A = this chain, B = another copy of it.
Amino acid sequence: MPVFLDTTAADFEPAFQSLLSAKREDSPDVDAVVAQIIDDVRTRGDAAVIELTAKFDRLELTPETMAFSADEIAEAVARVTPEDRAALELAADRIRAYHEKQMPEGHRWTDEAGATLGWRWSAVSAAGLYVPGGLASYPSSVLMNAIPAKVAGVGRLAIVVPTPDGQANPLVLLAAQLSGVDEIYRIGGAQAVAALAYGTETIAPVDKITGPGNAFVAAAKRRVFGKVGIDMIAGPSEILVIADRDNDPDWIALDLLSQAEHDECAQSILITDAADFGEAVAQAVEKRLETLQRRTIAGASWRDFGAVITVRDLNEAAALSNRIAPEHLELCVSDPEALSQKTIHAGAIFLGQYTPEAIGDYVGGPNHVLPTARSARFSSGLSVMDFLKRTTLSQMTPEALRIIGPAAEMLAKSESLEAHGLSVTARLNRLNG
């Protein structure tokens, strides 16, 4: 049974607090193992990667077979059905169109002092994308990571994807091809992250690594951070649905279950202003759980972390939503636009009852890599910005230096940084002398 809360109950606040702070994930401490693997790859390069792949993925590689060849990719991609290909192409096109609009512009201006200031954006030169193998090998995640990188202008984009026992997912290879990925290596785990960060004889190092992975991959990304850039370390997925009584309980139940089926640690929360509607949704969830393929996972998630919260009104719903800062937020209410103005902290908002969150996972256009575990309070989903960096630009004229230089001299003096001041003074002396 999920937890049922009601804001009018006397014990609501502590119960809500405990929902907020529930620890959903047990991160195994794999840091020591990962440190050793990274050292090994840094020291021995290809040889280490090949040995570790034989050990963990039961796959014998050589430097020559580490990457998929063009022929291998073409052969695998040819096995994809036309229907699957069409769906993936539609998704790729929509994700590309959305992310193209995200490209920020540089700016340059001259101010009253005569100083020309501004900034420009440029792409990361090379990026690497981790794609999990086996069951969690999602072609949609390839699109969501690779397309923003290519839209940003990343010159070289490499994918690493483990292929346990040599099994590769043709849809993953097709997604990579549609995204314009340049290199695909059949390696995984911490050894793949190390190879991307430090390079080997066969794999050139990259500047940024993104993409989801297990505890080993997450620990490896944390460890190489600084040497290269990384995206967020994502936790288990979450959804918050705010729904009034004018919804089909079965639709809302399916939306809650579409998060719950990801992972036993996923969390699905319904907030409604109608207690009987909340009951109806909970019943619809139970009914769907009888037949759902992934009912064991979805049932555990719903039972352990699910919640139905009844509120007095939608203002209260918005206030609770801001405290939850959900990764995904569905607003199934009569005026979703108005409510969205009040739900400030959220990774992605889905407005209205015809926008199930699953649309956003695949074909909506916005990115499905989103901040989890309340980090939407301070961070954003993946975007082209993750593959760009900003360089600030300043140019003084002699006159501009005359106007603002003395203040710099004064501040340098107050901070006891004499050479800072002298670098301005020497120039002003010439200009004034």
State which residues 324-379 of A face B: CB under 8 Å. 336, 340, 344-367, 370-371, 373, 375-379
Asked if A396 meets B117 with Cβ closer than 8 Å, knowing A226-B233, A294-B419, A419-B258, the reply is no
Distance between Cα atoms of A117 and B345 in the complex (Å): 18
B101, A418: Cβ atoms closer than 8 Å: no
Contact of A415 among B138, B375, B392 (CB under 8 A): B138
Cross-chain contact B355 with A396 (CB below 8 angstroms): yes
Report how far A400 CA is from B283 CA in the complex, Å: 29
* Contact A355–B395 (Cβ < 8 Å): yes
Give, as a whole number of angstroms, the nearest-CB distance from A378 to chain B. 3
How far does the Cβ of A57 sit from chain B's closest Cβ, in whole Å? 21
Q: Given A363-B408, A404-B90 in contact, is the A380-B389 Cβ separation under 8 Å?
A: yes
Q: Within the complex, which residue of B94, B348, B373, B407 is in contact with A362, where a contact is CB–CB below 8 Å?
A: B407
CB closest residue in chain B, given A359: B408
Q: Is the C-beta of A276 less than 8 angstroms from some C-beta in chain B? A: no
Cβ of A22 to closest chain B Cβ, rounded Å: 15
With A359-B394, A391-B348 as contacts: A423 and B258 at CB distance below 8 Å:
yes
Closest CB of chain B to A222's CB: distance in Å? 9
Q: Is the CB–CB distance between B109 and A101 below 8 Å?
A: yes
Nearest B residue to A88 via CB reads B411
Is A208 part of the binding interface, using a Cβ–Cβ cutoff of 8 Å? yes
What chain B residues lie within 8 Å of A363 (beta carbons)? Answer: 404-405, 407-408, 411
Would B394 and A355 count as touching, CB distance under 8 A? yes
Report whether A380 and B376 are in contact in the complex, using a CB–CB cutoff of 8 Å. Answer: no
Contacts known (A261-B419, A373-B226); A91 close to B391, Cβ less than 8 A: no
Which residue in B83, B124, B254, B412 is a CB contact (below 8 Å) of A419? B254
Given A119-B366, A412-B358: A124 and B378 within 8 A (CB)?
yes
Stretch at the interface among A9-17, A180-188, A424-432: A424-432
- Whether the Cβ atoms of B381 and A423 lie closer than 8 Å is no
Q: Given the complex of chains A and B, what is the CA–CA distance between A366 and B394 in angstroms?
A: 8
Tell me the residues in window 280-322 of chain A with beta carbons closer than 8 Å to chain B beta carbons: 288, 292-294, 298
**A406-423 toward B: CB 8 Å interface, digit per residue (1/0)?**
111011101111111111
The answer on a CB contact under 8 Å between A255 and B364 is no
CB A130 to nearest CB in B, in angstroms, measures 16
Query: Contacts A261-B418, A347-B392, A392-B366; is A423 near B358 (CB within 8 Å)?
Result: yes
CA distance A345 to B124 in the complex (A): 9
Query: Contact at B355–A94, with CB atoms within 8 Å?
Result: no
Give which listed residue, B122, B294, B360, B379, contacts A418 with CB less than 8 A. B294
Contact status B378-A410, CB under 8 Å: no
A408 engages B336 (CB within 8 Å): no
Q: For residue A19, give the distance in angstroms from its CB to the closest CB of chain B.
A: 17
Chain B residues near A229 (CB-CB < 8 A): 375, 377-379
Q: Are A430 and B298 in contact (CB under 8 A)?
A: no
| Given A350-B395, A378-B229: A292 touches B419 (CB 8 Å cut-off) | yes
State in angstroms the CA–CA spacing of A373 and B251 once bound together: 51
- Shortest beta-carbon distance from A323 to chain B in Å: 11
Bound-state CA distance A72–B107 (Å) is 41
Q: Does A207 contact B (CB under 8 A)?
A: yes
Are B397 and A354 in contact, CB atoms less than 8 angstroms apart? yes
Q: Once the chains bind, are A298 and B419 in contact (CB under 8 Å)?
A: yes
Known: A115-B365, A347-B392, A356-B427. 7 other contacts (CB 8 A): A87-B414, A90-B407, A115-B364, A207-B378, A229-B378, A250-B426, A352-B395
List 15 A–B pairs whose Cβ atoms lie within 8 Å, in order of A's numbering: A86-B407, A115-B364, A117-B364, A122-B344, A140-B415, A248-B426, A258-B417, A258-B419, A261-B418, A292-B418, A345-B391, A359-B394, A361-B412, A362-B408, A364-B404
Q: Which 4 A-B pairs have the closest CB atoms?
A: A229-B378, A366-B392, A87-B410, A351-B395
